[in-house]
Amino acid sequence: MENRYALPPYKIKMIEPIHQTTHEEREKRLAEAGYNVFQLRSDDVFIDLLTDSGTGAMSHFQWGALMIGDESYAGSASYFRLEAVVKRITGYNYVMPAHQGRGAEQVVIPEMIAHHGMVFISNTHFDTTRAHVEIAGARAVDTAIDACFDTAHYHPFKGNFDLAKLEREILAHGRENVAGIIVTVTNNAVGGQPVSMENIRAVRAMAIKYGIKTVIDGARYAENAYFIKIREAGYRDVPIRTIAREMFDNADVLLMSSKKDGLVNIGGLIAIKDDAELFRRCQTRIVPMEGFPTYGGLAGRDMDALAVGLGEALEEDYLRYRIDEVRYLGDRLLAAGVPIQVPTGGHAVFVDCGKLCPQIPFDQFPALAVTNALYLEGGVRAVEIGSLLLGRNPDTGKNSRAELELMRLTIPRRTYTFQHLDYVADCLVAVANRAGALKGLTFTYESPVLRHFTSRFKPL
């Protein structure tokens, strides 16, 4: 008999104890944290769905790989093992590790900006990518399809570019002022939604037409490849590795936080297809920013674990269970009437807090209010993906208004069971039943960059 949801293709070999706190303890801890769940101690969190970045469990093959790590400063054997794996997966000629995705961004993005006034265009820039674009003096422009903002209705590839918008932006800014087109897969900010291969090919064709480089933000590229396999015509019988390779064939550069689909606790990647001059410039920049080009801020043992994890993340049994785990939590919430982005994405369930708390204005951060209420209810930590994360307009200084006020319930890889997810659903349903009484928040301290990480608040 076929199961409705896939069974985990692994068994548990080691556990990490977690413990529950009381409601009174959580009230105190949240106040001490300035009503910002990023500032909570992990010991005070029962189920941590803040992020899937580096929070998953490694396999025994990865733990074994740690023991062969070569900690040489330059020319480490661990680097060459990692390089060989990345070249096989991507087909790209040049590979450098970084300590994580933002390390890769701080090296590559400035080297793609030729002069003042340039822009990067994406389906949707996520937080650190947007920040590094702006820090480097450029501007970030988003061109996702309108369907991604209609959370209640199904579209198989809500992460897609709106191709007409993309071309309008290229023409409006002038192709000489477009530093690059960034394809974010999956598209995190709009619900972990996939981008179709048809859309990726069309974006690539437009980039070639106008002489613009294409960059894949590939933190969750394996999940995107799996969605292509199960949702896009003509790919059902195509191996995941082949689909992933076709994605990379349609770009020039890969920037990756390997803490997601690399299945490791730390690590990032830069891969460049064939632009030797760009690689040399990045190689020069990485030394002061991250470290020598053959370690890039990573220990040898981390590179060996990543070399194994990149392969495991492309296993179809793993991906099937990974996607179904997210779908299970989404189905539980939908059955209870909680508004979420549908269909569920690859790494998280995104709750539509604009619908849940219409009484809270965007600049009082409705998704942060729900996030705090969820922590108080059951010690569950989630994260705001809305106007707080979007930040201020870098030219006017005014609060930018996000199209969606989302709370992300991010599921770490190979970490929690369905019983944990049932508990999360029960807690959130309890919060949703009193959502109309929730109040917004205002700043007591606002960080000037990536403000959602370190700002402090008070309830209104």
Asked whether residue 334 falls in the same domain as residue 377, the answer is: yes
Q: What is the pLDDT of residues 40-89, one digit of tens each?
A: 999 999 999 999 999 999 999 999 999 999 999 999 999 999 999 999 99
Q: The pTM is what? A: 0.95
Asked whether residue 405 falls in the same domain as residue 423, the answer is: yes
Q: What angle do CA 276, 101, 155 make, to 5 degrees?
A: 105
Q: Is 207 within the bounds of a domain?
A: yes
pLDDT score for 1: 37
Asked whether residue 368 falls in the same domain as residue 234, the answer is: no
Q: Is 10 within the bounds of a domain?
A: no
Q: What is the pLDDT of residues 363-376, one digit of tens each?
A: 999 999 999 999 99
Q: What is the pLDDT of residues 155-178, one digit of tens each?
A: 999 999 999 999 999 999 999 999
pLDDT score for 69: 98
Domain range enclosing 221: 60-312
DSSP code string of 93-157: SEEEEESSHHHHHHHHHHHH--STT-EEEES---HHHHHHHHHTT-EEEE-B-GGGG-TTS--TT
Neighbouring residues of 159: CB distance < 8 A, sequence distance ≥ 6: 123, 124, 144, 148, 184, 185, 186, 187, 190, 193, 194, 195, 224
The verdict on whether omega for the bond into residue 194 sits within 30 degrees of 0, i.e. cis, is no
pLDDT over 90 (residue 4): no
Q: What is the pLDDT of residues 259-274, one digit of tens each?
A: 999 999 999 999 999 9
pLDDT score for 3: 60
Structure token digits, residue 41: 């101690």
Stretch 354-367: mean pLDDT: 97
Longest dimension (CA), the chain: 61
Structure token digits, residue 206: 């437009």
Structure token digits, residue 185: 């897969």
pLDDT over 80 (residue 2): no
Stretch 407-416: mean pLDDT: 98
Q: Is 135 within the bounds of a domain?
A: yes
pLDDT over 90 (residue 280): yes
Indicate which CATH number applies to the domain containing 180.
3.40.640.10
Asked whether residue 249 falls in the same domain as residue 186, the answer is: yes
At which of 312, 347, 368 does a domain end?
312
Indicate which CATH number applies to the domain containing 342.
3.90.1150.10
Q: Is 5 within the bounds of a domain?
A: no
Q: Is 18 within the bounds of a domain?
A: no
Asked whether residue 73 falls in the same domain as residue 141, the answer is: yes
Q: For residues 181 and 203, give the distance between their C-alpha atoms in angstroms, rounded to a whole number.
A: 8
Asked whether residue 300 falls in the same domain as residue 418, the answer is: no
Active site residues: 73, 126-127, 217, 219, 260, 452
Asked whether residue 308 falls in the same domain as residue 329, the answer is: no
Averaged pLDDT score across all residues of the chain: 97
Nearest alpha-carbon partner for 438 in 380, 337, 355 = 355
Q: What angle do CA 414, 420, 426 make, to 5 degrees?
A: 145
HEC-encoded secondary structure of 294-335: CCCCCCHHHHHHHHHHHHHCCCHHHHHHHHHHHHHHHHHHHH
At which of 294, 312, 330 does a domain end?
312
Asked whether residue 390 falls in the same domain as residue 423, the answer is: yes
At which of 281, 312, 343 does a domain end?
312
| CA–CA distances in Å: residue 292 to residues 76, 153, 269, 288 | 11, 48, 14, 8
Asked whether residue 91 falls in the same domain as residue 201, the answer is: yes
Stretch 430-434: mean pLDDT: 98
Residue 390, Cβ density class (10 Å: 0-12 exposed, 13-18 middle, ≥19 buried): buried
pLDDT score for 203: 98
Asked whether residue 238 falls in the same domain as residue 183, the answer is: yes
Is the torsion defined by CA of 251, 179, 172, 389 positive or negative? positive
Asked whether residue 203 falls in the same domain as residue 180, the answer is: yes
Residue 242, Cβ density class (10 Å: 0-12 exposed, 13-18 middle, ≥19 buried): exposed
Q: What is the pLDDT of residues 209-259, one digit of tens each?
A: 999 999 999 999 999 999 999 999 999 999 999 999 999 999 999 999 999
Nearest alpha-carbon partner for 402 in 122, 146, 129, 149 = 149
Q: Is 17 within the bounds of a domain?
A: no
**Cα Rg of the chain, angstroms:** 21
Share above pLDDT 70 across residues of the chain, in percent, rounded to a whole number: 99
Neighbouring residues of 172: CB distance < 8 A, sequence distance ≥ 6: none
The structural domain count of the chain equals 2
Q: Is 214 within the bounds of a domain?
A: yes
Q: For residues 148 and 342, give the distance between their C-alpha atoms in angstroms, rounded to a whole number.
A: 9
Q: Is 202 within the bounds of a domain?
A: yes
Q: Which residue has the tokens 């932006």?
A: 169
Q: What is the pLDDT of residues 11-35, one digit of tens each?
A: 999 999 999 999 999 999 999 999 9
**Residues 410, 382 contacting (CB under 8 angstroms):** yes
Q: What is the pLDDT of residues 299-330, one digit of tens each?
A: 999 999 999 999 999 999 999 999 999 999 99
Asked whether residue 302 falls in the same domain as residue 414, the answer is: no
pLDDT over 80 (residue 140): yes
